[in-house]
Structure 1
């Protein structure tokens, strides 16, 4: 992680190996720009990036004065500087126009701090040659605070808290990234469970790992069926953060398919690539509960990780099988590649037994969600419009993209089965993200219908190219949005 250091010195006077200047909305007359003619000579008009090697300045265009674009620009700046031989960089103060006015400066700087830290991320665990960087710290000039009607000393206290929050967010997004990126020959269910136990011990949380015998005892037949062809045992991991004065009890449920070949309804090899990312939901909720513990939030938070592996063997579960879930509902299996919802159904039953105020599940559940919303946007589903709106607002505030998807009774009928209470998939191609959500809804008890949200993170959880603050691979989808959602829920209570 980068060291971010606040200095009560003006930007121009602050000494560092290289300066980072954001060119906002092509404004080359900004007070941070001291060599406008040089930029004109090189035909730089404020778009993209320009590195002035002579004056040791990295200019990064910010197309719109928006908090999230500052985050991305800061990330790009660090990625560029990492390739150079600079040990330190400096940055000034910025306040986005398109934000809540009284928080513009602090929220923009939080975005910049997170962007700077995200710029350092590389997943190179299995590479012989690692990326080398000399960059160790970024100095933040507070001496110009009066331009924002702030006193440097007062602002320093505010921004120290933002640096702390940025560090926690980035550390835990990166935790989720690392786990999702870890290949399936390493990251089995027991491996992820051990990571959860180690983190819990380190951070003072409770952690319980339940194996196959427990799942049988609790009659979690849907969950067990998915894993029965795997050489690795299933692991239901339950992590608990319980502060003394909790205002809410929130349960986060994560789909944790450490690998999904599709089972007997086998995927083509093209679609098996990246299936290590099918544990993205579980990795996200594990990261979130630890992040919230570090932030010291006044909520009792439970993370439930449904870890399993969908493989092929002589004892694979089959299309035509009828499974009995923990809720007692029978499920006709029409496709073994619709397995995540089976694991989640039993995990959601487990979650409801905890009698929470809110339940939110995160899952790389459907390709249909990616088809509908694209690779960068998660889908929000549930029965409570107000709760969906609140989650959407929190997610967008965090910098993660989401869209609400509406349930309807006509799609629900497509899950009807002549052989069981419900089918695990519909006979048609259309509306797959919604029918998966509607399937889960069948396992939500009446008392929790308005307290539950389902977040399909199939698109952004793993993308094989650079985008926003993400390198190719896992993005840690769900972590920032969920942390922000919990903070916002507590702020309202």
Structure 2
């Protein structure tokens, strides 16, 4: 990731390869948003250029202008979709515009400056966040990757550079962006190289020297814990499953959060095999595990006074000679037995193991993150996650955190009558039910593995189905490019911050 610098500097004094400015909407036309960093004559020239080019200032519109007086390099004007002067309520629009502007310069500049509105610390920090997020690229497997220009430095020009909230916000933006990028790298890595054991070892290396303890459960340890979900799903692969447990225990923690992440490093569907086109992006089926791991590292690096225990449920779902069959029955860590119906509904099985083990810690809030159902994508599209839970306050807390972080999410009710389709003749439950309401059915199954607190009340739990926004094969917008998005990292960090 590039290094971030917030400087009280005029555009005319900055020598970056390129400058990005924000456009707002004035009727049908675009205008450059006012900021002290831009000289009046520079802004007038840009406004005239935008008018001549027919720019509208709509979100995701980027216009390149060369030969601008008072600017050393090329200028990219990035539309915000905001009418008039941006306010703090427009923080996400600012983030996305900053990210879109940076993405427009991918491979074309090494140093970039942004002269965006500086009406408040929140606006400056949003600019920094969006620029960092938009700078992500994955070139590990490109033969010419080392030769392409990568952005190495981002400068945000603002008279508020020395403001304490700007300084702390910029520092946090760098930490979160770095971890979000690590999560994206994990998701973008081909399954040939990222499988349960290598994933676990990568996590161990990444957390070396941090404040987080790492424990890896191999297949023998999983059997001892009766992790029937991971063991069953992993039976068809020559590469056995793993569970990684991360523990961050700061002194005088104000709350204890537990995260559980789905880590299916590749999903063929098992014996209920997917069609070929359905497998193309299935390296992303571990995006939940990547997100919760990255969020845990960011929380620890920021020193937030919130304890976090995280479970990464890692397996590869293949069709080997010992692959799990429909009709099999497995036993989970909480003693509940499950009849296997569809081997392509494997995610909820490994998550049940993680939720069962996490519940033993009796956290104040239990959150799982998973690319769980196609039903979530059909319901909400590819940019919005769903959140369900057994506790309205917990669900609302996640929605609020996602809103502050700028990640799209929508609350879904946990309709108990949909349980009827999961009744089994031979086990405590089937792991699938009716196709109608499939996203809710999956969440209802997970609910059975959320334990109780010391008083016998169900632990507060929220389930994030990120099947839509975790990975984009075609769509790109704002600071989100094609491939892994790192969805969930920012929401979990924001939630921990709100509890601290």
Same-fold call, TM > 0.5? Answer: yes
Q: Distance in 2 between matches of 1:468 and 1:18?
A: 18
Q: Is the 8 A contact 1:441 1:449 kept in 2?
A: no
Q: Is the 8 A contact 2:306 2:499 kept in 1?
A: no
Q: Distance in 2 between matches of 1:113 and 1:29?
A: 18
1:474 is aligned to 484
Superposed, which structure 2 residues align to 1:212-231 within 5 Å? 212-231=219-238
Q: 1:420 to 1:160 in 2, by over 3 A?
A: same
1:160 is aligned to 167
Q: Does 353-362 or 442-451 show the bigger shift?
A: 442-451
1:115 is aligned to 130
1:101 is aligned to none
Give 5+ residue unaligned stretches, structure 2.
Answer: 69-73
Q: Distance in 1 between matches of 2:447 and 2:274?
A: 26
TM-score by length of 2: 0.90
2:148 is aligned to 132
User: 1:18: how far off?
Assistant: 3.5
Q: Distance in 2 between matches of 1:227 and 1:403?
A: 32
Q: Distance in 1 between matches of 2:479 and 2:375?
A: 25
TM-score by length of 1: 0.91
User: 1:357: how far off?
Assistant: 1.4
2:273 is aligned to 266
Q: Is the 8 A contact 2:387 2:464 kept in 1?
A: yes
Q: Equivalent of 2:304, from 276, 289, 297?
A: 297
Q: 1:29 to 1:262 in 2, by over 3 A?
A: closer
Q: Is the 8 A contact 1:11 1:92 kept in 2?
A: no
Q: Report whether the alignment pairs 1:483 with 2:486.
A: no
| SS across alignment from 2:208 | helix
Superposed, which structure 2 residues align to 1:49-448 within 5 Å? 49-55=62-68, 56-64=74-82, 65=86, 66-85=90-109, 87-95=111-119, 105-130=120-145, 132-133=148-149, 135-143=151-159, 153=162, 155=163, 157-426=164-433, 428-447=434-453
Q: Is the 8 A contact 1:378 1:459 kept in 2?
A: yes
RMSD over aligned CA atoms reads 1.9
| SS across alignment from 1:202 | coil
User: 1:307: how far off?
Assistant: 0.7
Residues 207-264 of structure 1 deviation map (CA, whole Å, 9 limit, x = unaligned): 0101111111112223211111211121110011111121111110011111111111
| SS across alignment from 1:207 | strand
User: 1:471: how far off?
Assistant: 1.7
Q: Is the 8 A contact 2:329 2:337 kept in 1?
A: yes
User: 1:281: how far off?
Assistant: 0.9
Q: Distance in 2 between matches of 1:471 and 1:41?
A: 29
User: 1:83: how far off?
Assistant: 4.2
1:28 is aligned to 31
User: 1:39: how far off?
Assistant: 3.2
Residues 30-65 of structure 1 deviation map (CA, whole Å, 9 limit, x = unaligned): 434232334333333434222211114321111124
Q: Is the 8 A contact 2:348 2:372 kept in 1?
A: yes
Q: 1:114 to 1:323 in 2, by over 3 A?
A: same
Q: Distance in 2 between matches of 1:83 and 1:221?
A: 47
Q: Distance in 2 between matches of 1:85 and 1:197?
A: 34
User: 1:309: how far off?
Assistant: 1.1
| SS across alignment from 2:6 | strand
Q: Distance in 1 between matches of 2:109 and 2:383?
A: 33
Superposed, which structure 2 residues align to 1:449-468 within 5 Å? 449-465=458-474, 466-468=476-478
User: 1:137: how far off?
Assistant: 2.9
Residues 255-279 of structure 1 deviation map (CA, whole Å, 9 limit, x = unaligned): 1111111111111111111111111
Q: Is the 8 A contact 1:255 1:343 kept in 2?
A: yes
Q: 1:117 to 1:85 in 2, by over 3 A?
A: closer
2:48 is aligned to 37
Q: Is the 8 A contact 2:33 2:116 kept in 1?
A: no
Residues 148-176 of structure 1 deviation map (CA, whole Å, 9 limit, x = unaligned): xxxx64x2x32221211111111111111
Q: Distance in 1 between matches of 2:118 and 2:131?
A: 14
Give 5+ residue unaligned stretches, structure 1.
Answer: 96-104, 146-151
User: 1:108: how far off?
Assistant: 2.0
